[in-house]
């Protein structure tokens, strides 16, 4: 067997920056080769960095809001000619502001990326993993999944979908040798808030976790076969614990105070 074939293969979406790149670093540093994707040219620089960690990296610049792009990405994985051992479904975007004022096309694009592409890619990967009898899938959800999210309502709902979806899939495939883990980070120091147009919100101007710390906790949880991990600071775990007991109306009000435009001024 060649040295290449002996190395496990992992794939990461949204790997050009933030949590996605940090997750790819974790895989590279633990001896994985990688297939990575993002919709921006920075994916090339990300691949070069990961190769410095000793990984063989295939990178693609693709917009996963397109069905055909998801198919092309999975074809790249299959073309590696070896089993996919781990998949981090991480790509996601946010749209800040009041839903009725937001651009509908932007909201629908969010759903296409955060939800539709995740379902599509999970279906392709989990089928192959179940047939091979091993594999691990990580879904990047959010602590926003645990409560209503005024002023980024579609984003919070998409993360609630991913959390529920991951837990359901975990139950379905647990006897096949495949493990599914949901990652629930809190506010993290990434380009997310700028890209979502939320720079003037309280959550964007408040404390944030280091994406490398989040990714390290996520990787450890995935390898341990845990069902979910609330990564980052203690405040994230406190928030998710409170979310289990507070009424939805109260949670929506508290969350809205953090995400309302202008709240960070």
Are 133 and 147 in contact by the 8 Å Cβ rule? The answer is no
Q: Which of 32, 74, 151, 155 is catalytic?
A: 155
Are 64 and 74 in contact by the 8 Å Cβ rule? The answer is no
Instruction: Identify which of 90, 93, 145, 154 has the alpha carbon closest to the alpha carbon of residue 122.
Output: 90
> Among this protein's residues, is 219 annotated catalytic?
no
105 CB neighbour count, 10 Å cutoff: 8
Q: In terms of DSSP H, where are the helices of 8-94?
A: 18-29, 42-52, 67-79
223 CB neighbour count, 10 Å cutoff: 14
Give the Cα separation of 134 and 100 in Å (integer). Answer: 44
The DSSP string of 94-117 is ---S-GGGS-HHHHHHHHIIIIIH
6 CB neighbour count, 10 Å cutoff: 9
Residues that are catalytic: 155
């Amino acid at each position: 067997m060649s040295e290449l074939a002996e190395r496990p293969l992992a794939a990461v979406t949204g790997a050009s920056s933030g949590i996605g790149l940090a997750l790819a670093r974790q895989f590279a540093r633990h001896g994985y080769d990688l297939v990575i994707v993002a919709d921006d040219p920075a994916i090339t620089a990300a691949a070069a960095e990961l190769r410095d960690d000793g990984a063989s990296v295939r990178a693609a610049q693709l917009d996963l809001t397109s069905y055909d792009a998801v198919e092309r990405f999975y074809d790249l994985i299959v073309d590696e000619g070896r089993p996919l051992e781990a998949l981090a479904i991480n790509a996601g975007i946010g749209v800040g502001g009041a839903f009725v004022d937001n651009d509908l096309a932007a909201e629908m694009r969010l759903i296409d990326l955060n939800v539709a592409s995740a379902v599509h890619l999970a279906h392709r990967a989990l089928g192959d993993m179940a047939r091979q009898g091993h594999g691990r899938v990580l879904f990047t959800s959010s602590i926003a999944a645990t409560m209503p999210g005024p002023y980024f309502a579609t984003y919070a709902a998409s993360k609630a979908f991913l959390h529920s979806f991951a837990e359901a899939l975990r139950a379905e495939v647990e006897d096949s040798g495949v493990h599914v883990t949901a990652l629930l980070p809190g506010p993290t120091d990434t380009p997310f808030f700028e890209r979502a147009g939320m720079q003037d919100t309280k959550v964007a101007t408040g404390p944030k976790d280091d994406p490398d710390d989040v990714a390290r906790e996520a990787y450890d949880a995935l390898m341990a076969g845990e069902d979910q991990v609330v990564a980052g600071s203690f405040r994230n775990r406190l928030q998710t614990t409170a979310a289990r007991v507070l009424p939805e109306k109260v949670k929506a009000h508290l969350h809205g105070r953090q995400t309302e435009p202008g709240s960070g001024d």
